Structure 1
Amino acid sequence: MDDEIEIFTAGRPAAPPYPSEAREEARRNLLAEGGRRRFRTPRFGWQAAGAFGLTVALIGGIALALPSWTGGSAARPGAAATESASVASSQGMGELSPKPGQFLLFESETMYTAEYAGDSTGTDTARYLYRTQRKIWSSADGSAPGLLSITGLEPRALPGLPLPAEATRDERESWHQIAGHCPGSPDVFRTDYAYLSGLPSDGPAMRDYLYERDHGGQSADDGVFTAVGDLTRENYMPRAQRQALFEAAKTIPGVKVADGVKDAAGRAGVAVGREENGVLTQLVFDPDTFLFLGERGTVVDEKTGRAPVGTVVALTAQLKVSVVDRLPEAEGAARDGSCDVQERPATPPAGDYTMPTTKPSSRTPM
């Protein structure tokens, strides 16, 4: 089967070279799950509720693809954890100290909003809450590829809406390869422990670092709050950096701090939250260790949030973080080819261009 990345890139002879920054951002956004932001996809050909949400994302005029939910690939027992941080009981827990060559294993439970568009106009839609269990093995120094395991959980209906026929689940464990830090990509896109442990260790300096980053077309304040979430979910950094990140997040205009906010596991923590599109997104932390507990999204405006006020449209829990020496053996894991995208000349050499005959995925771009 032709690689969708190559199909899309070959089909754009007049496009400018694809920057490594956009490529890395696209890979991270797809990996993070389409459900963090509402997405639309046709009724046909979508089997992966809770996997990556979408197969294709259009970024800067080029399509990047991550493998869709494949299921059925087998994995042998993974390496035993040498260190473990059970977030359910963080008091008295020691800090993790992963070494080069080791991996951090994150175990999470997620729930986000899924939306189908029944036609090209997007007027015929179906929405529901999809849920997954996730395990992700990430290289401690970003030098090696990792793995992602996803298992579907029972979907849930939104208030006042029926559970659509599309809200299926696949309880098979699905395995996906995760590329390490792509060669040539700026370090600012790194989220491995080795890089994060070198970030500023006090709030003001961390705030400066966040605001100096590229915000991908968002406003500075929106981009910084997005970055806080991206640096937190399924990532781990030393306590000094965790606390600095939390202190910096509190200073973002529009952010509200709230105590006693619960994650998907029912654990109460302190949250930094910000409203966008009628939804209050809260990142919940342990008040003593600043370990990330989970995320909560609550509708605060019925019109723009498209659900009754108080509806929970996103709810996650990061249940455990461990350090392991090696990856499990996952035979048949879907390949992540995001680092294979090469910058191409704006106009290909004469006589060297052929329109691909294999059609790319029919899924609607994000």
Structure 2
Amino acid sequence: MDELDLIRNRAETTGFAPAEHLTPARERLLAAARGERRSRPRRWLWIAGGSVGLAAAITAVVALAPTEQVGVGPSVAHADPVKVLTAAASSALKEPAKPPRPDQFLYVKTEQADHHFREVWFSVDGTRDGLIGTTKIGGCRNGKAPNYGTNDPRKEGMLEDCTPKPVYRTDLPTTADAMLAYLNSQPGTQKDNPTAMGKDVWGLVDEQVLQPASYAALFEAAAKVPGLTALDHVTDGAGRPGVGITFPVPPGSSPNAKPIVMVFDATTYQFLGTTDSAVTVKTYVDEVGQRP
């Protein structure tokens, strides 16, 4: 077996990166080889073990070095995306149900990939005023909610008709088929549109709280979305490593359309966030502005 056979066999398991990604890695490899030849008379096995040395060196640079060092993008995971989401559903069912008090607030802190942070305080039962950053959110009481953050000072605090929107969701389905039907029924959602489905799934796990059975149904419903791919060696917005599930953009989308990539812990399969943002704190507090 020559060096091309060795490289070809390695490529079948790891895959090749695009040529433009390999230029920096190739330059570092050659530079390292030149330095090694200068410092060691035995010439680093380039002659004594030419075929094996060449294939091993290329494999080491392309397959083993951290992706940020060689410019190679996330690799396709060996795991099936359906299996990853099914494992996430099983993990969700193991979480104990911890119903909050109706008068509490859900506090969520997310970190963006650019290191900016977002903090929200949402009323558990939807009747109390909350916060998104420093902007007040009117709670819905007796069918009326105060209007905050308007561009017209005259309308600030004026009451508008409303329906309470609890952030602790007890109204969602607990089976995959029923959850899939629910997701497809949401306003503005195109049936079986993977990008829209990914946004809806993300919206439910990001800054809301579901019961364990509903979380499990959500991930099992997501597993039914066609065209999903699993990615190894991705990180969430806070830099935490995990396995990514990509909800692709449909054919004919804008060139600027970006797929949703949800990130799960590769061991526990708990939801971490997306490649753009990370849920770093999610808990209940007793007052708006309170931090755990």
Compute the TM-score of the two structures, normalised by the length of structure 1.
Answer: 0.41
Name the counterpart of 1:137: 121
Q: Which structure 2 residues correspond to residues 184-195 of structure 1 after superposition, within 5 A?
A: 190=165, 192-193=167-168
TM-fit CA distance, 1:206:
0.8
**Aligned to 2:199, what secondary structure does the other structure show?**
helix
Name the counterpart of 1:60: none
Name the counterpart of 2:28: none
Name the counterpart of 2:245: 272
State which structure, 1 or 2, has the greater radius of gyration over its C-alpha atoms.
2
**Aligned to 1:213, what secondary structure does the other structure show?**
coil
Cα distance in 2, alignment partners of residues 289 and 192 from structure 1:
25
TM-fit CA distance, 1:185:
5.4
Q: Does 1:229 align with 2:202?
A: yes
**Aligned to 2:244, what secondary structure does the other structure show?**
strand
**Aligned to 2:136, what secondary structure does the other structure show?**
strand
Q: Does 1:317 align with 2:292?
A: no
Name the counterpart of 1:97: 99
Q: Which amino acid aligns with 2:281?
A: K
Task: Give yes or no for contact 2:129–2:138 (8 Å, CA) kept in 1.
Answer: yes
Cα distance in 1, alignment partners of residues 161 and 196 from structure 2:
23
Cα distance in 1, alignment partners of residues 217 and 266 from structure 2:
13
For structure 2, the 5+ residue unaligned runs are 1-91, 146-159, 250-255
Name the counterpart of 1:293: 272
Residue in structure 2 matching 1:146, options 115, 118, 130: 130
TM-fit CA distance, 1:220:
4.5
For structure 1, the 5+ residue unaligned runs are 1-89, 112-129, 150-174, 297-314, 330-366
Q: Does 1:197 align with 2:175?
A: no
Name the counterpart of 2:137: 178
Using CA pairs under 8 Å that are at least 6 residues apart, name the structure with larger relative contact order, 1 or 2: 1
Cα distance in 2, alignment partners of residues 185 and 290 from structure 1:
37
Name the counterpart of 2:234: 261
**Which digits, 9 at most, give the CA deviation of each residue in 1:230-286, with x for residues without a partner?**
222222222221121111112122322445532123333343312334533211234
**Aligned to 1:279, what secondary structure does the other structure show?**
coil
Name the counterpart of 2:110: 108
Cα distance in 2, alignment partners of residues 131 and 200 from structure 1:
35
TM-fit CA distance, 1:227:
1.4
Task: Give yes or no for contact 1:249–1:272 (8 Å, CA) kept in 2.
Answer: no
**Aligned to 1:198, what secondary structure does the other structure show?**
coil
**Which digits, 9 at most, give the CA deviation of each residue in 1:78-114, with x for residues without a partner?**
xxxxxxxxxxxx9x97554211111111111113xxx
Q: Which structure 2 residues correspond to residues 324-339 of structure 1 after superposition, within 5 A?
A: 324-328=285-289
Cα distance in 1, alignment partners of residues 244 and 101 from structure 2:
30
Task: Give yes or no for contact 1:272–1:282 (8 Å, CA) kept in 2.
Answer: yes
Q: Which structure 2 residues correspond to residues 1-366 of structure 1 after superposition, within 5 A?
A: 95-111=97-113, 131-149=115-133, 175-180=134-139, 190=165, 192-193=167-168, 196-215=169-188, 218=190, 220-221=192-193, 222-258=195-231, 260-276=233-249, 277=256, 279-286=258-265, 291-296=270-275, 315-328=276-289
**Which digits, 9 at most, give the CA deviation of each residue in 1:53-72, with x for residues without a partner?**
xxxxxxxxxxxxxxxxxxxx
Task: Give yes or no for contact 2:115–2:238 (8 Å, CA) kept in 1.
Answer: no
Task: Give yes or no for contact 2:105–2:288 (8 Å, CA) kept in 1.
Answer: yes
Cα distance in 2, alignment partners of residues 327 and 255 from structure 1:
38
Higher strand proportion, which one?
1
Higher helix proportion, which one?
2
Work out the percentage of aligned pairs sharing the same amino acid: 31
TM-fit CA distance, 1:323:
1.0
Q: Which amino acid aligns with 1:328?
A: G
**Aligned CA distance change for structure 1 residues 209 and 202 (closer, same or farther; 3 Å):** same
Cα distance in 1, alignment partners of residues 266 and 284 from structure 2:
23
**Aligned CA distance change for structure 1 residues 258 and 246 (closer, same or farther; 3 Å):** farther
Task: Give yes or no for contact 1:191–1:231 (8 Å, CA) kept in 2.
Answer: no
Task: Give yes or no for contact 1:249–1:255 (8 Å, CA) kept in 2.
Answer: no
Q: Which amino acid aligns with 1:327?
A: V
Cα distance in 2, alignment partners of residues 289 and 180 from structure 1:
36
**Aligned CA distance change for structure 1 residues 246 and 100 (closer, same or farther; 3 Å):** same
**Aligned CA distance change for structure 1 residues 211 and 219 (closer, same or farther; 3 Å):** closer
Cα distance in 1, alignment partners of residues 97 and 269 from structure 2:
12
Aligned CA RMSD, in angstroms, stands at 3.1
**Which digits, 9 at most, give the CA deviation of each residue in 1:99-136, with x for residues without a partner?**
1111111111113xxxxxxxxxxxxxxxxxx5421211
